[in-house]
Amino acid sequence: MENNYQYVDPDFKYTNAKGVLHNLGKIEDEKVLLAYESLKVTKRIEELFENPITIKDANSLLVIHHYLFQDVYEWAGKVRTVNISKNGKPFFNGERFYVAYQFIDTLITEYRSILQTNKKELAHKLAEILDNVNYLHPFREGNGRTQREFLRLLALEKGITLNLNPPDNKDIYERYMNGTINSDVKILTALILEQIEIT
């Protein structure tokens, strides 16, 4: 699955001239940074499985992102200040984030009113939340990992196990990417419905 992102960042706020993200490890090689980031973030995700963050509202995305990326980027937990597009499709305009957060808060309230036993409706509402958070794309890097953790923690509120990032499962990842890139709530609902387990 290709990642054809485009960024409007003429002042190099986030990267050096070669396109490598400014990072706390002072790493100048993109492949080395990718490995470093993966190692640090994986450790933080494992910690959240032991000590989950409580979701309050859409602003909890910032809390999760900060926790996951605190060892890698100075701007961990801060919304992006550049606009992003992928394959020619722009993500949400950063100047209007507050409007999007209010809408996502409404979706979270609706989700919380659904009974734990209604798996189909829960899956659909989680898919809606995922679709809107993905369109929001509030961070310069790390949106996918943050939104998958956000959804896992929302599911946990209902006593539900949900893992949209299982190791060595290419099918789940490709369906997740297909659903988010194409804003296809049906694909995302079907995927989430398959993956949720009531504990």
Least confident of 30-39, 68-77, 118-127, 159-168: 159-168
Q: Please report the pLDDT score of residue 2 as a whole number.
A: 46
Q: Please report the pLDDT score of residue 10 as a whole number.
A: 63
Measure the CA–CA gap between 127 and 192, rounded to whole angstroms: 7
> Which one is predicted more confidently, 14 or 153?
153
Q: Please report the pLDDT score of residue 1 as a whole number.
A: 42
- Within 51-142, residue ranges assigned H as helices are 60-69, 97-112, 119-136
Q: What architecture does CATH give domain 5-198?
A: Orthogonal Bundle (1.10)
Measure the CA–CA gap between 172 and 163, rounded to whole angstroms: 10
CB 33 within 8 A of CB 23: yes
CB 84 within 8 A of CB 73: no
Q: Please report the pLDDT score of residue 89 as a whole number.
A: 75
Can you read off the two tokens belonging to residue 92? 């949400």
Q: Please report the pLDDT score of residue 4 as a whole number.
A: 64
In which band, very low, low, confident or very high, does the pLDDT at 101 lie, cut at 50, 70 and 90? very high
The whole-chain average pLDDT of the chain stands at 91
Q: Please report the pLDDT score of residue 86 as a whole number.
A: 75
pLDDT tens-digit series, residues 158-181? 999 998 987 778 899 999 999 998
Q: Please report the pLDDT score of residue 3 as a whole number.
A: 55
pLDDT score of 148 more than 80: yes
pLDDT tens-digit series, residues 9-29? 667 788 988 889 999 999 999
Give this prediction's pTM: 0.92
Q: Please report the pLDDT score of residue 30 as a whole number.
A: 93
Q: Please report the pLDDT score of residue 83 as a whole number.
A: 83
Task: Map out the domains of the chain as residue ranges.
Answer: 5-198
b/e 49-77 (16+ beta carbons within 10 angstroms → b): eeeeeebeebebbbbbbbbbbebbbebbb
| pLDDT cut 70: percent of the chain above it | 95
Q: Please report the pLDDT score of residue 9 as a whole number.
A: 64
